[in-house]
């Protein structure tokens, strides 16, 4: 018992535990996530300066331009400098504090002990199972609430099955909103687009586990299709597109080793797409979400959603405002007011009423810190996508696409998840 307890407090084992806590913490309220990240940071400093007996000068390795971490720090420095030319200083400081993860997480992972492949895979495995458990919980919650509203899920599927075989049956309803988009996630109070991103990362971790023979084939395919259902119900269009690309890319280009594998890949892909289309076209909300991408001007039938045409207008306004301060941007404190002024000039009443941001991180970065900020962001992706192995390329690809349709750094979830996943994947490469 004593030996097991002492092993648990070894630096490597504590590091694994704290990284797991940090990864799972992003699914909860920002204060829970912040606490886990603070604990991770404190432990990393204890490990670096006390256990490893390093000096402050040994931190200089983090500022090496070959180190991935330096670009996070560079981005934070640009945001900090933009406070100086922001007229709204209080807002600037508030938004700057939101970006402190760009400093503390790189330092934390630089100062943690190197992890063995076995420990890295353990962390991924916990995350993969956690996402599946979370989806099960959300489904059960939706089923219970659907029942409380007087709808029977069993009767609904029975009626659908009988109609499929041409049998007449009285029409049976369910409350679709409980199983879709914010209705599915409201109990954990997290936006569907971010949860979809976390599921996509879990899928990539799943691929990594399969490649290292840490999951049976049956379990791998179960999780893959279970995640597909999760992403479909979350109804983030860009996230769903990313998931499908990841799945098709892996099954048809990475997994096949023989011609038989290639045939198997095509067969699985067709099954995968058939299931996806079947779910989409039997759920009116999902159907609208997909069809509105194909026809952005389609009538806005579901008030909980914004259609694509509105997003395009946001981008047009953001680009016009970027031209006013292309090099340094408007500053982290003033960029939002500048964008709202542009909405007012162009009579974009919906954007003004809801105080929309650009809904595109690349545009938001240019509004805040100009071309210099965009350059640092591009370097972040350049080094990430040029790292060895498909896993890190896939995960940076997830964020690369997500940044097109969402201002990720405008929320705690976006700042922390991008930095946390990036630093975790790069830790052993950039560790001193």
Considering the domain architecture, whether residues 126 and 38 belong to the same structural domain is answered as no
| pLDDT of 357 | 92
Q: Is the dihedral of CA 78, 81, 87, 90 positive or negative?
A: positive
Considering the domain architecture, whether residues 177 and 281 belong to the same structural domain is answered as yes
Considering the domain architecture, whether residues 41 and 182 belong to the same structural domain is answered as no
User: Is 315 inside a domain boundary?
Assistant: no
User: Is 299 inside a domain boundary?
Assistant: no
Considering the domain architecture, whether residues 85 and 149 belong to the same structural domain is answered as no
Considering the domain architecture, whether residues 69 and 130 belong to the same structural domain is answered as no
- Mean pLDDT over 106-135 rounds to 95
The last residue of one of the domains, among 265, 294, 323, is 294
Residue 86 contacts residue 331 (beta carbons within 8 Å): yes
Residue 41 corresponds to which tokens in the numbers above?
């940071």
Considering the domain architecture, whether residues 90 and 135 belong to the same structural domain is answered as no
CA distances from residue 2 to 9, 16, 262, 339, 415 in whole angstroms, order as listed: 11, 20, 52, 61, 40
Q: Give the range among 148-157, 283-292, 348-357 with minimum mean pLDDT.
A: 283-292
- Mean pLDDT over 91-120 rounds to 93
pLDDT tens for residues 257-279? 899 999 999 999 999 999 999 88
What is the percentage of the chain residues whose pLDDT exceeds 90? 70
Contacts of 95 (CB under 8 A, 6+ apart): 79, 332, 333
SS3 of residue 215 by DSSP: coil
| pLDDT of 346 | 96
Considering the domain architecture, whether residues 6 and 152 belong to the same structural domain is answered as no
The rounded distance, in Å, linking the Cα atoms of 400 and 167 is 48
pLDDT tens for residues 30-79? 788 889 999 999 999 999 999 999 998 888 878 876 677 889 999 999 99
| pLDDT of 173 | 77
Q: Give the range among 78-92, 213-227, 415-429 with minimum mean pLDDT.
A: 415-429
- Mean pLDDT over 281-287 rounds to 82
Q: Which of 128, 400, 394 is nearest to 253 (CA)?
A: 394
Considering the domain architecture, whether residues 132 and 270 belong to the same structural domain is answered as yes
| pLDDT of 4 | 46
User: Is 184 inside a domain boundary?
Assistant: yes
How many domains does the chain fold into?
2
Contacts of 394 (CB under 8 A, 6+ apart): 204, 207, 246, 249
Residue 86 pLDDT class (50, 70, 90 cuts): very high
Residue 360 corresponds to which tokens in the numbers above?
């595109």
Considering the domain architecture, whether residues 15 and 80 belong to the same structural domain is answered as yes
Considering the domain architecture, whether residues 417 and 391 belong to the same structural domain is answered as yes
User: Is 332 inside a domain boundary?
Assistant: no
Q: What is the average pLDDT value for the chain, to the nearest integer?
A: 89
User: Is 164 inside a domain boundary?
Assistant: yes
- Mean pLDDT over 161-184 rounds to 78
Rounded to two decimals, what is the model's pTM? 0.92
The last residue of one of the domains, among 294, 321, 340, is 294
Considering the domain architecture, whether residues 162 and 260 belong to the same structural domain is answered as yes
Considering the domain architecture, whether residues 101 and 145 belong to the same structural domain is answered as no
In the DSSP assignment, the letter for residue 376 is: H
Q: How far apart are the first and last CA of the chain?
A: 34
User: Is 201 inside a domain boundary?
Assistant: yes
User: Is 310 inside a domain boundary?
Assistant: no
More confident residue, 300 or 233: 233
Q: Which residues span the domain enclosing 178?
A: 120-294
Residue with tokens 């340094």: 328
Residue 303 pLDDT class (50, 70, 90 cuts): very low
């Amino acid at each position: 018992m004593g030996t097991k307890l002492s092993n648990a407090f070894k630096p490597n084992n504590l590091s694994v535990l704290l990284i797991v806590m940090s990864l799972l913490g992003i699914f909860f309220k920002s204060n829970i996530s912040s606490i886990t990240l603070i604990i991770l940071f404190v432990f990393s400093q204890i490990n670096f300066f006390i256990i490893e007996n390093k000096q402050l000068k040994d931190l200089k390795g983090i500022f090496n331009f070959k180190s991935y971490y330096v670009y996070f720090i560079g981005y934070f420095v640009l945001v900090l400098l933009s406070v100086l030319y922001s007229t709204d200083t209080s807002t600037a400081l508030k938004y700057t504090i939101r970006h402190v993860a760009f400093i503390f997480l790189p330092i934390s992972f630089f100062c943690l002990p190197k992890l063995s492949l076995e420990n890295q895979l353990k962390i991924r495995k916990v995350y993969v199972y956690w996402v599946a458990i979370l989806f099960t919980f959300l489904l059960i919650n939706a089923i219970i609430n659907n029942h409380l509203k007087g709808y029977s899920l069993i009767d609904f599927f029975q009626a659908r099955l009988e109609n499929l075989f041409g049998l007449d049956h009285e029409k049976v309803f369910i409350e679709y909103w409980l199983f879709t988009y914010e209705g599915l996630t409201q109990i954990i109070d997290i936006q569907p687009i971010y949860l979809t991103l976390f599921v996509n990362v879990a899928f990539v971790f799943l691929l990594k586990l399969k490649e290292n023979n840490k999951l049976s084939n049956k379990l791998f395919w179960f999780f893959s299709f279970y995640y597909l259902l999760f992403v479909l119900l979350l109804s983030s269009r860009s996230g769903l597109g990313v998931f499908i690309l990841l799945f098709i890319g892996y099954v048809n280009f990475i997994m096949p080793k023989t011609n038989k594998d290639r045939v198997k890949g095509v067969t699985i892909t067709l099954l995968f797409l058939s299931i996806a289309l079947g779910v989409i076209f039997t759920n009116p909300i999902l159907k609208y979400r997909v069809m509105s991408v194909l026809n952005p001007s389609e009538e806005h039938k579901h008030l909980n959603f914004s259609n694509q045409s509105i997003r395009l207008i946001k981008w047009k306004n953001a680009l016009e405002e970027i031209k006013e301060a292309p090099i340094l941007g408007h500053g982290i404190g003033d960029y939002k007011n500048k964008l709202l002024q542009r909405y007012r000039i162009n009579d974009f009443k919906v954007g003004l009423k809801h105080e929309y941001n650009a809904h595109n991180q690349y545009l938001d970065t240019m509004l805040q810190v100009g071309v210099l900020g965009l350059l640092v962001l591009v370097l972040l992706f350049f080094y990430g996508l040029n790292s060895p192995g498909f896993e890190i390329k896939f995960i940076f690809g997830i964020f690369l696409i997500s940044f097109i349709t969402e201002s990720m750094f405008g929320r705690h979830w976006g700042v922390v998840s991008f930095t946390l996943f990036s630093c975790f994947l790069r830790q052993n490469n950039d560790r001193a």
